[in-house]
Structure 1
Amino acid sequence: MFKRIDHVELIPRDFDHAIGFYTEILSFTVKQRMMINAPPLEEIAYLALGDTVLELMRVKEPVIGEQDPWQTGYRLMAIEVEDMDQAVAYLAGKGVPVTWGPVTFGRSKRAEIQDPDGNAIELRQW
């Protein structure tokens, strides 16, 4: 019946800046981008990283809410990395600071960064 999580949707403050962050820094590729005439929705972009799809939505006058990664509800999206130290160094060179960690959990390592809108993104090395 249920197969898998198909995609995650985000509404960024700056649609084009968010596409740049996910494609230029985190290596997502633009799978599809299209204008939509379904107010308040204006445009969508599907970004892929491996089998994972992220849908960015441009909406007219998005409401900007407070970001607290430790609140109840949606927490974060996690991206698997091959080498935590290499990933952290690469991101630092791109001006993306680690907001938590890296920490070791058993045989895995975990760290967190944020996208331009403050959405938490976990980095995980298994």
Structure 2
Amino acid sequence: MNQSLFAVTLVVPDYDDAIAFYAKTLSFTLLQDVDLGDGKRWVRVAPPGTGDASLLLAKADGPEQSAAIGNQTGGRVGFFLQTDDFDRDFSAMTAAGVHFEEDPRHEPYGTVAVWRDPFGNRWDLIQFA
């Protein structure tokens, strides 16, 4: 059997704002942006160098989904952006205006710092030891 994680849905308030942040600010690759009709789109982005895994950016549809924006993991860090050069990416992200909640810290598993996307989702930037 051969299986892999293909995509994780990230509920966002607006497709274009999410694309602007992930594809422009973070330099993720815009893999797909397909109009599905009725205001819906199939939008996938992925960090450079990623295999098949991606984020599926899904515009909130209704009050329940809108309420989940930025809190899809109950306030926990729910997303982990692995890097091969923590200092390079931390500096670039900071210069691009990404909000880090803390200074980088060294843990037994690697160097890490928590940041938020503009929609409130908590991420780790992490370089494993």
Under a length normalisation based on structure 2, what TM-score does the superposition of the two structures give? 0.78
| Partner Cα distance (2:23, 2:89) in 1 | 15
Kept in 2, the 8 Å contact 1:42–1:60? The answer is no
1:53: Cα distance to partner? 0.8
Name stretches of at least 5 consecutive residues in structure 2 with no aligned partner. Answer: none
In the alignment, residue 31 of structure 1 is paired with which amino acid? L
Kept in 1, the 8 Å contact 2:99–2:115? The answer is yes
What does residue 42 of structure 1 align with? 40
In the alignment, residue 45 of structure 2 is paired with which amino acid? L
| Cα 1:56/1:107, change in 2 over 3 Å | closer
1:86: Cα distance to partner? 2.1
In the alignment, residue 64 of structure 1 is paired with which amino acid? A
| Partner Cα distance (1:102, 1:29) in 2 | 25
Where do 4+ consecutive residues of structure 1 move more than 3 Å? Answer: 59-62, 65-72
| Partner Cα distance (1:66, 1:46) in 2 | 17
In the alignment, residue 35 of structure 1 is paired with which amino acid? D
Q: How does 1:1-126 map to 2 (within 5 A)?
A: 1=1, 3-37=3-37, 42-49=40-47, 50-51=50-51, 52-61=53-62, 62-65=65-68, 67=70, 71=74, 75-106=77-108, 108-126=110-128
RMSD of aligned C-alpha atoms? 2.6
In the alignment, residue 46 of structure 1 is paired with which amino acid? R
Kept in 1, the 8 Å contact 2:99–2:117? The answer is no
The number of residues matched between the two structures is 123
1:97: Cα distance to partner? 2.0
Name stretches of at least 5 consecutive residues in structure 1 with no aligned partner. Answer: none
Residue by residue over 1:11-38, the C-alpha shift from the partner in whole angstroms, topping out at 9 and shown as x without a partner, is 101221111111112221111111224x
Aligned-residue sequence identity (percent) comes to 24
